[in-house]
Amino acid sequence: MTETAMSRADMMTSRVEARSKAVRRLAGGDALFRNLTFAAAIIVLLILGGTIGSLIQGSLPAFKAFGFGFFVTDVWNPSDDKFGAGAAIYGTIVTSFIAMLIAVPVGLGIAIFLTELCPPALRRPIGVAIELLAGIPSIIYGVWGLFVFAPFLQQYVQPGLIAAFANVPGLNALFAGPPFGIGVLTASLILAIMVLPFVTSISRDVFNTVPPMLKESAYGVGCTTWEVVSSIVIPYTRVGVIGGCMLALGRALGETMAVTFVIGNAHDISASILAPGTTISATIANEFTEADGVLYTSSLIALGLILFMITFVVLAFARLMLMRLEGKAGK
């Protein structure tokens, strides 16, 4: 073998060794990255498991003392050590339901306007204004709701609702009672304003992912804007829209300070949405620092466990629904 051939062989050997080292280095980095991400996932599960375990352990004295009645009774009397979560559960569900009933159609309407109808010069200012609502601290919403919004409702809105539905069977009980200003309806409206940016922003972003060719084809065959939105945009993005609504619902279920300011904090179950009420998070925020005794503290921790389970069930149901929708889309 000539000297030139030997040098070429040595060069090829060195190149192969260099490539092997590079491959090993990359493989080592990939393994490190995989292990770090796996550890992060395990840490999240450990934190979640620890949280659930702590809540269950702390709520056991309340469940042992009151049994199933803790979930359905609305008695909350710390002086006699009698507690029930019925009023707080009822208030949490009702305020979140009314808030979503208002925020979802309004948020979807704003998102449709921004993506389909709004002049280009106004899209960014309106979008930024909507997103700024999400950055306002909840305590600001609470203070504004207590000193501005609640008096406005008490003077101008609630008397009109009471008079309008006074003779309507069924609805007269829903809008009965004196106009307090604060109450379940006020808290629900504040919650609707707070979750509106989540519904609007996520819906707008997923609406923008619709291929322009699909919409242009529909307009080309004579479809109206409503037909394009209802037949193309919404079906194409329904998974993302539902996900945004579930995120907003999670925020509504767990909101604390804003609701605490305006709901009235009364442990009563009333058919009227104008009456004062309470929620799980508001009860915990109001009374945890004053809790004296094992049973009182355990009852508040049990409320936290119930709120966790409500949120978990809602999100699990939403995930199941999204999986079914994705399965139908695949077929």
Average pLDDT, the chain: 86
**pLDDT confidence of residue 276:** 93
pLDDT digits (tens, 9 = 90+) for 282-298: 999 888 878 788 899 99
Mean per-residue pLDDT, 68-87: 88
User: pLDDT tier at 224 (50, 70, 90 boundaries)?
Assistant: confident
What is the DSSP code (8-state) at residue 223?
-
Would you say 58 and 298 are in contact if contact means Cβ atoms under 8 Å apart?
yes
Torsion of CA 299, 84, 291, 265, to 10 degrees: 130
Would you say 114 and 123 are in contact if contact means Cβ atoms under 8 Å apart?
yes
Place of tokens 């979140």: 96
Answer whether residue 17 shows pLDDT above 90: no
Would you say 174 and 188 are in contact if contact means Cβ atoms under 8 Å apart?
no
- Strand-pair partners of 77: 82
**pLDDT confidence of residue 312:** 86
Answer whether residue 191 shows pLDDT above 90: yes
Answer left, alpha or beta for residue 172, where phi above 0 means left and psi between -120 and 50 means alpha. alpha
**pLDDT confidence of residue 147:** 93
Place of tokens 């352990």: 57
User: pLDDT tier at 2 (50, 70, 90 boundaries)?
Assistant: low
Answer whether residue 43 shows pLDDT above 90: yes
Please list, in sequence order, all residues whose beta carbon lies within 8 angstroms of the beta carbon of residue 210, skipping any fewer than 6 positions away: 232, 233, 236, 237
**pLDDT confidence of residue 293:** 82
Of 90, 145, 98, give the one whose Cα is nearest residue 262: 145
Quick one: what percent of the chain has pLDDT higher than 70? 89
d(CA 274, CA 305): 28
| pTM of the predicted structure, to 2 decimals | 0.85
Alpha carbon separation from 264 to 67, 88, 115, 189, 244 (Å, rounded): 28, 12, 39, 14, 29
Place of tokens 């306002």: 136
d(CA 257, CA 315): 23
d(CA 112, CA 130): 14
Answer whether residue 181 shows pLDDT above 70: yes
Would you say 162 and 175 are in contact if contact means Cβ atoms under 8 Å apart?
yes
d(CA 202, CA 131): 10
Answer whether residue 20 shows pLDDT above 70: no
Mean per-residue pLDDT, 150-170: 90
Pairing relationship of beta strands 82-83 and 76-77 according to DSSP bridges: antiparallel
Mean per-residue pLDDT, 59-74: 90
How many C-beta neighbours within 10 Å does residue 58 have?
Answer: 18
Answer whether residue 107 shows pLDDT above 80: yes
Question: By mean pLDDT, which of 3-12, 243-252, 272-281, 286-295 is the weakest?
Answer: 3-12
What is the DSSP code (8-state) at residue 76?
E
**Per-range mean pLDDT, top range of 11-25, 254-268, 309-323:** 254-268
User: pLDDT tier at 124 (50, 70, 90 boundaries)?
Assistant: confident
